Structure 1
């Protein structure tokens, strides 16, 4: 799942209201990349433990990000502490919770629960950025959480039923990532999106690495081709390419428009998990998905009007 994105910082250079075809294709590609990240993580977890897979993922992404910022000005000392905290929460806690949650949750449930990040962004933006929250947003949040309860208690039937711990960990991941998005706004204005993404990823990886080494020291695992492929996809495509694609989109598309890609992610994710893991989609799961997407629509629609 889920990666560093510049939420709410997009400029609005176009005035015609017509999105170029190239940007539409980029948005669809981004939805596909982010949408299938949970099923791909689930695939990697078949032969590797969660923390080890996550460390391998960011071990691939960090050198690439380091290369991208090698010619940028050095990071000021006053930025180290806030970026370290941001990385530990968003990359460390967020990605660890996601991997642990996906390991205990069917991929379809993990995908739709990960799509609730915009709901938590609205909540955190109200707290941190002092943005007003409308009645429509409150209603959307309530509807979305109702859908979460429905999905978590009645997901697709698989050989291993989802436990309550799995969905809760995925939601904790969504909370941590939403925290990352909102609390990175000020830092992004000061130091740039790429620098914030690269350094916070480095600090998060540094916090994760000791735990991954500890896990790998007593947990037998196999470095299989699917696991290596999953870590490579998550590191290069979801983390690095997803970030660069998002920043490129924001050069011409307002963030409030580009963020609508979040609604397509469950489509790609659920379709992929159904194909790979043969998840059987039940009526209760479909009802929960409808509630969650309705809640997302209400919160994002209200935010767009305010913007």
Structure 2
């Protein structure tokens, strides 16, 4: 299975193409920047808005864009609707929402690295649900990545800025988000094979968004906050660019370059994420955190080193 990120669905493999064009390289870099900045910008938006309302505002921008693309072209059979609704509840109602709660209680740097374990959980869940084998190298990669997460959690107090204010509960919530999003991707493989990737993504996004609305109404009624210009712009960026535009950029890339090459952008995401966190929040890595980052990225690389499949 080709690796996914928190913001992208499972998409078909591209044709093997020998050479990369400057345009495709630029697209990969742009995607890495968009995805890499997603958690620091989430952190920025959460400074003035509570997690449920911020997540709902984000998808308020994403849903109309997706449906403009879907009108007349991407219908879902009624028989598939319960599965797609459940998929949306898992991916958005649990995955993205727990990520927002986790980012609220953890630094952007820590959240970025913990979220980088999504490919690791995809390998595990694909083995359990789809019967895909896991080699010894991949097993070692899984153990290495989890050891890195433990070091990141233990080393959060050795940093400076927002990094030093990370809580273990925040780390746990981001980790739960990674599991839920990984499950979303693995399950979407099965549904996308029957109904089409974009169709499943659009309708599951709508279902997840509607699932958020009752909780959003409760939070708005019981919590005092205001939507600042920064929060509005952050939600707009995440909804329009990360959740919507990046979907179609990724789809184009997978038709332009080999899927394994396109998936390599995941290794640049933490670089941009940590760099942005340092600039925006003053995060500075301690020794344990830095060691954890290395182990997580090494573990992710090993866990996917021999795996190919569908996105």
Cα distance in 1 for residues equivalent to 2:261 and 2:133: 20
Q: Answer yes or no: is the 8 Å Cα contact 2:44–2:230 preserved in 1.
A: yes
Counterpart pick for 1:157 among 156, 160, 167: 160
Q: TM-score, normalised by structure 2?
A: 0.94
1:141 matched residue in structure 2:
142
Deviation of 1:154 after TM superposition, in Å, equals 0.8
**In structure 2, what is the Cα distance between the partners aligned to 1:194 and 1:304?**
20
The structure 2 residue matched to 1:235, chosen from 233, 239, 247, is: 239
Cα separation, partners in 2 of 1:22 and 1:73, compared to 1, 3 Å: closer
Aligned 8 A contact 1:2 1:238 in 2? no
Report what 1:288 is aligned to: 292
Q: CA RMSD in A?
A: 1.5
**What does 1:1-307 align with in structure 2 at a 5 Å threshold?**
2-6=6-10, 9-14=12-17, 16=18, 18-155=19-156, 156-158=159-161, 161-304=165-308
Give the unaligned 5+ runs of structure 2.
none
Q: Secondary structure in 2 aligned to 1:303? A: coil
Paired with 1:285 and 1:19, the residues of 2 have a C-alpha distance of: 35
Separation (CA, whole Å) in 2 of partners of 1:127 and 1:21: 39
Distance 1:92 1:247 in 2: 24
Flag structure 1 segments of 5+ consecutive residues without an equivalent: none
Superposed displacement of residue 157, structure 1: 2.7
Structure 1 residue 75, shift from structure 2 partner: 1.5
Q: What is the CA-CA distance between 1:258 and the residue it aligns to?
A: 1.5
Q: 1:12 offset after TM fit, Å? A: 2.0
Q: Deviations over 1:175-228 (max 9, x none)?
A: 111111111012112222211111000000011111111111111111111000
Length-normalised TM-score, structure 1: 0.95
Cα distance in 2 between the residues matched to 1:82 and 1:258: 29
1:257 shift after superposition: 2.2
Q: State the distance in 2 between where 1:279 and 1:190 align.
A: 44
Residues paired across the two proteins, number? 302
Shift of 1:255: 2.2
For 2:270 and 2:141, the matched residues in 1 are separated by 18
Contact kept, 8 Å, 2:153 with 2:168, in 1: the verdict is yes
